[in-house]
Structure formats: C-alpha cells, structure tokens
Chains A and B, each alone.
Chain A
C-alpha cells in the first residue's frame, strides 16, 4: 500500500517566517503534486514535480522532488496570512488515481 506521510501535521507561525513541509513515502512515485485547500473550497494544484532532484519555484514557494522520487518538500519564504490553508501532497496511484498525503495545516498570523 502506498502511503504519503506529511510533517508537520500543524504549523502556526508569524507573518514573515520561513517554513518547510515534508512529504515522505517508502514507495517510488512517477510524479508528485502539491495542492492547497482553503476552507469551503476544493484543493487547488500548486505544482507537479516529475524528475528526481527537480526543484520548482512559484513566487515564494519552492518545491523539491527527492532524488529517489520517494519524497518531496515545500518551502515557503516570508510567509503571509494568504498562505494559510491545508497543504496536501499527492502521488500517482495508477489508473489516473491520486494518493493524498496526510496533510499539513498552516496558519500564518499577521
């Protein structure tokens, strides 16, 4: 069974701080995605990483895919209250299915 464990589970920080969220598995994935979900909405895709060691940047967000394609990280620089939400990693589960990570709930206070 493919599992994606995220850490930390909860993160509460002040505006301007940096943070890193981790997504780990014992399984190899051909790709990993990161989604953000805000209250009352569905998850929204942030990025897809497909190559081991790949680094992608989206403004203040930096995503990295592990060399062995078993893990990924999301780093946010100078967090803002608008970054508040539930961050979910997801890996391909075959037949177009996604396996979602356990989630990291981020709260950024002004």
Chain B
C-alpha cells in the first residue's frame, strides 16, 4: 500500500486568507483525490487530480475556490482560497489502490479551522 503524508497536519486561519495543503506519496501514482470531511460527517470528493492535466471538480466545488496543482506523479497541492468559517473541515488526499480494486489509500488529513 502507498504511504501518504500531508502538510500541515492542522492549522487555524483567519477568514479571507488562503491555505495550501500538500500531499506527498511514496510512489508514483496516476490519480490523486482530494476530499473534504466536515465536522462529524462523511467524506465528500472535491476533485480528482491527474498529473499533466487539469483537475476534475465535483458538483459544488470550483477551481477558483479550490485550485489544485499536480506537478508530478508523487505530489499534489490543494489551496483553500478566501476562507470562511464554513471551510472548517478535515481535508484528505488519497490515491487509487491496485488497478481493478476500486480501493483508495488515504493521507492522515489536514484539520483546518477558520476563525
């Protein structure tokens, strides 16, 4: 299984500012995913990030609010822009498991609090 790290692990930010979250994988992967987990809730997919192409966003999420970079096969960033308290969540990145398994491996998450 892939080992995934995220930075920062947590942060407290002021409204109106932006935060960039980093996701590093210990092996090369084609697809990376970014999720949001609001307090006490399940995971919601924000976007899928493939290396060398624009990220694909899910309904309700837009690039201006959540720009994503995918500069190589082991790294991705998610920026939460112009933050408001409603953006307070855990943000998780993941990578696809072995082909044909439909499984994913997750990073430990970034806990964001917006004041």
Contact = CB atoms under 8 A, between A and B. Distances in A.
B27 interface: no
A96 B32 CA distance: 10
B53 interface: no
B43 interface: yes
Interface of B: 4, 31, 33, 40-45, 48, 92, 94, 96-97, 101-109, 111
Interface residues of A, number: 23
B96 to A, nearest CB: 5
Contacts of A43: 43, 92, 106
A76 interface: no
B41 A103 contact: yes
Nearest to A35: B106
B101 A48 contact: yes
Contacts of A102: 41-42
A15 interface: no
Contacts of B45: 93, 97-99
Interface in A15-48: 30-31, 33, 40-45, 48
Interface string A82-110: 00000010001101111111110100000
Nearest to A44: B106
A97 B40 CA distance: 22
Given A33-B102, A44-B106, A102-B42, 7 more contacts: A41-B108, A88-B42, A96-B48, A97-B45, A98-B45, A98-B102, A100-B43
